Every structure is written in structure tokens, then in C-alpha cells.
Amino acid sequence: MTATRYTPTAIFIHWLMALLLIGLFSVGLYMSDLPLSPQKLKIYSWHKWAGVTAFVLVLVRLAWRVGHPPPALPAAMPSWQKTAAHGLHHLLYLLMIAIPLSGWLMSSAKGFQTVYFGILPLPDLLQKDKELGELLESMHTALNFTLAALVLAHIGAAVKHHLLDRDDVLARMLPFLARRRRPSAANPEWRNP
């Protein structure tokens, strides 16, 4: 039997990652212009801890997905949209791995070791190199803005499927929406659970 929605574990990890990524992006924007102070260093530490947590969580999410494939996209969806959806998901996963790694590399190159929750020192991945640190900082920033743009595209596509296509794409990740769906021209066979 083919699944019609994501597992509760996948849904929980998805929304936890969403909150974590929004928080990381917001804090990253806020802290970047702060003057050097003990408060700024504390916020940077929190940001790095959350980044490591996001990195571990995306690995858990990928491991879960290996054993629990996502539900199939609607049969009525055009193949180009299916290809775009799969491509977007792959890019999101790639960025969710690349961004924390770029932050870790940047911290290493700038000479600031990451100490997870102030307890577990993570090894520096690079030797201190100011120029490389600045290059990695630019890359980290660019990757974050790319992720933000792709997340907006992801949200836009989900809302489009819900409001215009009237299919169950969004309801697969928000099961409470399934009770509100009605048959439409795009999906005339849809039935309430």
C-alpha cells in the first residue's frame, strides 16, 4: 500500500527543521552587524550550537527518509512539476548540509573553535587563515540567502497546490488540512478520509 502522507516522525522533523532554520537565519542577520562584545560572542555561540543541531537533524531526517520514502506526488501533476519538486527537495537537502559545514569551516579558518553547548569541542577543519575565513563567510551568507529563496519557492508551491490545484500535496505535511479539501477539476476523485 502506498503512503498518502508523511509519517508523524517525518512531519515532526520537517517542522522542527523549519523553525530551526528560520531562527538560524534571523539570528544570523541580527548578529552580523553587532559590534564586538561579550553579548555578540554569546549569540555567535548559540548560533553555532543551533547550526550543529540543524546539521545533525538533517542527517537524522535523511536516514529516516531512506527507510520511509515520501508519498507519491499526485498522478495528475505534470511531469515537469514533479521534476521541479524533486530537484527543489534535493537542493534544500544539499543546502541544509552545506550551510552548517560552511559555517564550521569559516569558524575554523577564522580561528574560533566550535564548542557544542560549551561542552563538546569540535575539531577545527582548517588552519587559521584570515582571507579564507572571509571567503567562507561570503559563501556562508550566499548559501543562506539561496536557501531562504528556495524555502520561499517551496512554500509558494505548497500554497499553490493547496489553493489553486486543490490537491493533497500540502495536506500530506499538514494532515489536519485533509478534512477541509473538496473535489476539484484537477482532482475530482478526492475523498475525505
Domain assignment of residue 92, yes or no = yes
> What is the CB-side half-sphere exposure of residue 47 using CA atoms within 13 A?
21
The answer to whether residues 57 and 20 touch, using CB atoms and an 8 Å cutoff, is: yes
Three-state SS for 107? helix
Q: How confident is the model at residue 193 (pLDDT cuts 50, 70, 90)?
A: very low
Work out how many domains the chain is built from and give that number.
Answer: 1
The arithmetic mean of pLDDT across residues 92-101, rounded, is 96
Domain contains 188: no
**Quick check: is 161 in a domain?**
yes
CA dihedral 152, 83, 64, 140 (to 10 degrees): -40
**Is residue 1 a part of any domain in this protein?**
no
Closest by CA to 17, choosing from 102, 96, 103, 104, is: 96
Of 89, 94, 91, 97, the residue nearest 157 (C-alpha): 89
User: Considering the domain boundaries, does residue 80 fall inside one?
Assistant: yes
- Asked if residue 159 belongs to a domain, the reply is yes
- Taking the alpha carbons at both ends of the chain, their separation in whole angstroms is 16
DSSP 78: -
Task: Tell me, yes or no, whether 132 lies in a domain.
Answer: yes
Domain coverage including residue 27: 8-180
* Residue 63's CATH number: 1.20.950.20
Output 74 or 176, whichever has higher pLDDT.
74
For position 167, what pLDDT does the model report?
82
The Cα–Cα gap between 144 and 98 comes to: 10
Is residue 78 assigned to a domain? Answer: yes
The grid coordinates of residue 114 equal 566550535
What pLDDT digit, counting tens, does each position of 7-42 carry?
Answer: 899 999 999 999 999 999 999 999 988 998 999 889
Beta-strand relationship, 115-116 and 120-121: antiparallel
Among residues 49, 12, 54, 38, the alpha carbon closest in space to that of 143 is found at 54
pLDDT value at residue 176: 78
Taking the whole predicted model, whether its pTM rises above 0.95 is answered as: no
Cell of 68: 520511509
At residue 16's C-alpha, the angle toward residues 94 and 48, to 5°, is 65
User: What local confidence, expressed as pLDDT, does residue 178 receive?
Assistant: 64
Provide the pLDDT for residue 1. Answer: 47
